[in-house]
Amino acid sequence: MSGAESLIGAVVLVVSLGVAAQLVADWLQIPSVAFLLVAGVLVGPQALDLVDPAIFGQAGLQAIVGLSVGIIVFEGAFHLTVDRVREASREALGLVTIGAFVSLVGTAVAVKVVFGTTWPVAVLVGSLLIATGPTVITPIMQVVPVRDRVAAALETEGIINDVTAAILAVATFEFVIASQSSPVVVIEAFVARLAVGHVVGIAVGGGTALLLKRWHLSADNALQNARVVVLTAALLAYALGSMWLSEAGIAAAAVAGIVLGNAEIPHKEEVAGFKGGITLFVLSFVFIVLAAQLSLGDLRALGVGGLVVVIVVAALVRPLGVFLSTLGGRLTVRERMFVGGMGPRGIVPASVATLFAIELRPENPEAATVLVGTVFLVIFATVMFQGGLARHFAQALDILPMQTLIVGGGRVGRELAVRYESRGEEVVLIDSDEDTVERTRADGHRVVHGDATNATVLEEAGANRASVVVAATADDDVNLLVAQLATTRFDVDTVVARANQPDNVEAFEDLDVETISAGFAVADAIDDAVERPALAHWLSDSGRTGDVLEVELSNDSLVDRTIEETADKLPDGCLVAMVSRNGTDRVPDSDFRLANGDHLTLVCETNEAMQDARRLCQGG
């Protein structure tokens, strides 16, 4: 077989394995990187010997990996919008500064103590393992619906620390291979590459945004042009940055992605979807090729020490860095524990470590073994365990909030959002009016701009994992269609619709959704104010801390207990006001025994007590 045919066969095999790994990962809902790594090792020279990375040549492999990393970093940065960062700006800042520093120092010390390497080599390994990266974090967030502030912190950390790790590792590597250099060269090289990356990235990103806006006015095939131009911009930013100063291209690609992602360019959503598909393709290809180049001898050479370093990095350094960097932030203790347990490493440390090892091995084989062996062992362990167990970990910590979608960002929708969020629920509003969207975002709510009668918009907002959908617009036609989509297409458990005209109530009820007639609701509120003034005042007080909660009993430890016995287990300030069983409501006496599936109406003085009572009744 000729060299060209061998190369074609290797490329086709790698691409096929990459697609298969993506399909299996989607089916099992875990990051595809785990399967890509295993596939690469299996087809590499160490196992089946079907793909030999040497066929690409050293220069060719470096070019392929570099351009691929540029596309991947650009795509991740494209989604790093200002609104996204605001979700967890304080936590993200801590993770990319204090957290990164703790990771660098902690990992370097562990490598130095366990393997006895020189400090420059230990710092080189520590620099690379700062990175987590969107290639492993984003797939986890897609299957683990944590609060936006948690996801935003992790995703922002991954994108920025990818750049930090790559540039710092290159700067450190220059010090490692230059025996007479001063440590100051590391700082100088880091700052220089960061500066070049910003200059090139802003120029390419800004110029591309202007070009797309002008083309949109005259070009007939603007969507196709936009896709091609944005992809070219990613490659151009990386290439220009790298030509100016080696490895500055990663920073340039990231900055260009951020600039374009925050610019108002035509067909932005379609471009993002196209670019995401390209990223999956190059990610699959590069990860398999890099893993095929991995020598199992490097992993065996580390011995027990390698496992010790992995445990220190994942179970000690990462949680410590997260704890210190999130002090005083908005994350709860359990959310901080989850972030501390989510530090999977991705494409940047794998690619850079592989390329460094090739250059380092002839002169210092021991350092090359420690470098590539430690990096890949940490990648394997963190992706397999942290990525694969992420959802179970989040469930054990009870940090998966109820998702509530509210269609309509008017006065009613915003008031509902305030109430639900005060109870600890995750709320997303949807509205098609730009002014309303901006006003609602200014109030601190998460908003999706779009037409909620479009199933794609509902899906983007999270309808496929919502437990409640509220259609609260002033347009009954919109509310009716939203309710229909929520019940038939997304199978949402609870759908509540606002009927502005009494004549339309029957149409809503035909859909079997809970219907609130605006006119009747006002009459009920007036009646409550007259007949039950204290309760009405408490329920309508926007500054209250408590509320009335209805929850289904599923905790076996409370089944067959009396109301008196249950009251002893409920948080202080909570009482059982009503029990609903088989469609019958009753006010229970102290001897009434509860059954599995009973719906308990609880009156709670504080939101904290209400959340604790919910967890107790549901077995949390």
Q: Where are the domains of the chain?
A: 3-397, 403-524, 544-618
Fold match flag (3-397 vs 544-618): no
Return the pLDDT at 308: 94
pLDDT of 493 strictly over 70: yes
Residue 545's nearest CA partner among 389, 423, 427 is 423
Confidence band of 540 (pLDDT split at 50, 70, 90): low
In 351-493, at which residue ranges do the beta strands (DSSP E only) sit?
403-407, 426-431, 446-449, 468-471
Return the pLDDT at 394: 86
Q: CA of 510: how far to CAs of 485, 507, 515, in Å? A: 14, 5, 10
444 token code pair? 């601190």
Q: Are strands 514-517 and 574-581 parallel, antiparallel or unpaired?
A: unpaired
Q: What average pLDDT does range 214-232 have in this prediction?
A: 71
Any idea which of 182-186, 264-268, 286-290, 389-393 has the lowest mean pLDDT?
182-186
Any idea which of 71-85, 376-390, 533-547 has the lowest mean pLDDT?
533-547
- In tens, the pLDDT along 319-365 reads 999 999 998 877 888 889 999 998 888 778 888 888 788 888 887 88
Return the pLDDT at 527: 65
Q: What average pLDDT does range 443-448 have in this prediction?
A: 80
pLDDT of 114 strictly over 80: yes
Return the pLDDT at 204: 92
As beta bridge partners, residue 579 has 586, 600
**544-618 is classed in which CATH architecture?**
2-Layer Sandwich (3.30)
CA–CA dist 174, 186 (Å, integer) = 8
Q: Which residues contact 355 (CB under 8 A, 6 or more apart)?
A: 61, 62, 65
Which CATH code, of 3.40.640.10, 1.50.10.100, 1.25.40.10, 1.20.1530.20, is assigned to 3-397?
1.20.1530.20
pLDDT of 442 strictly over 80: no
Q: What average pLDDT does range 538-553 have in this prediction?
A: 70
What is the residue-averaged pLDDT of the chain? Answer: 82
Return the pLDDT at 30: 66
User: What proportion of the chain, given as a percentage, has pLDDT over 90?
Assistant: 12
CA–CA dist 329, 326 (Å, integer) = 5
For 1, the 3-state DSSP assignment is: coil
By CB neighbour count within 10 A (0-12 exposed, 13-18 middle, 19+ buried), where does 531 fall?
Answer: exposed
Confidence band of 2 (pLDDT split at 50, 70, 90): low
CA–CA dist 579, 130 (Å, integer) = 53
pLDDT of 31 strictly over 70: no
- Highest-confidence segment of 30-44, 274-288, 490-504: 490-504
Return the pLDDT at 407: 92
Return the pLDDT at 502: 80
CA–CA dist 433, 457 (Å, integer) = 14
H or E stretch covering 514? strand 514-517
Helix/strand number for the chain, H first, E second? 29, 10
Return the pLDDT at 100: 92
Any idea which of 222-226, 450-454, 501-505 has the lowest mean pLDDT?
222-226
- In tens, the pLDDT along 550-559 reads 888 888 888 8
CA–CA dist 110, 114 (Å, integer) = 6
Return the pLDDT at 430: 92
CA–CA dist 95, 157 (Å, integer) = 6
Return the pLDDT at 500: 84
Stated length of the chain? 620
Contact 67, 235 (CB under 8 A): yes
Return the pLDDT at 324: 94
CATH homologous superfamily, domain 403-524: NAD(P)-binding Rossmann-like Domain (3.40.50.720)
As beta bridge partners, residue 562 has 593
